[in-house]
Amino acid sequence: MLLLAICSIIIGLALILRGVSRLKIRRGLSGSLYWSSGLGMALSGLFLLAVTANLYTYQRLTSETDVANIEITQVAAKSFDIKVSEPGKQSVRVRLNGDEWQLDARFLRWKSWATILGKEPMFRLERLSGRYTDIDQEREANRTVYALNSNLGLDLWKYGRNYAQWMPFIDAYFGSSVYVPLAPEARYQVAATHSGLIVRAQNIPAKEVLGEW
């Protein structure tokens, strides 16, 4: 898609220049056709480029895929240091307040004909936050939320939700969240599946707290 976008922009600019040159020698009809065709191709290329830039923030989902490891260290009552490690990325450390940690992701699925052309479902981790089990604390206590990805280019997920009739190649766009207890020294592994996110305990503290939850 990136190559197609770049080629469309280059050809579009070439046609625009050709049209301008013909307009200068007073060949109005052919010049206008070149100019308008070039403008259309260039704008289409820019649109594809914006879409491609946004899709590069997602990962392909061919089967169950490990997406993050979560390591927890308690620093005070209801306050924890969290290390988030995503494959191929530098680890991130944040401070969460609450009783549980919550990870949010967004998913894109394509129509069957797009899947035949090799477009697998895609996903992107969105944010990590702390949450309280008590509703009153959730409303009043200090909450902590961190973004895990920037939103480059044209946001297909957003436009797919708001303008579905103009996105016939997208079959589904949905969010998925998991939340489990914050426990001292617990380690978790998060995986993405075609139905959403799942969490597995990776050590004894995590297994114990999940067994009591």
Q: List the pLDDT tens digit at each of the 213 positions of the chain.
A: 556 556 666 765 666 666 566 556 666 566 567 657 766 666 666 665 566 665 555 656 667 889 999 999 999 999 999 999 998 888 999 999 999 999 999 887 766 545 444 467 778 898 999 999 999 999 999 999 999 877 665 566 666 666 555 566 666 567 789 999 999 999 999 999 887 899 999 999 999 988 877
Q: DSSP letter for 65, please.
A: E
Q: 201 near 188, Cβ under 8 Å?
A: yes
Q: Under DSSP, is residue 191 helix (H, G, I), strand (E, B) or coil?
A: strand
Among 105, 79, 106, CA closest to 94: 79
Q: Cα-atom radius of gyration of the chain, to the nearest Å?
A: 24
Looking at this protein, which amino acid is placed at residue 213?
Answer: W
Summarize pLDDT for 88-132 with one digit per residue, the tens: 888 999 999 999 999 999 887 766 545 444 467 778 898 999 999
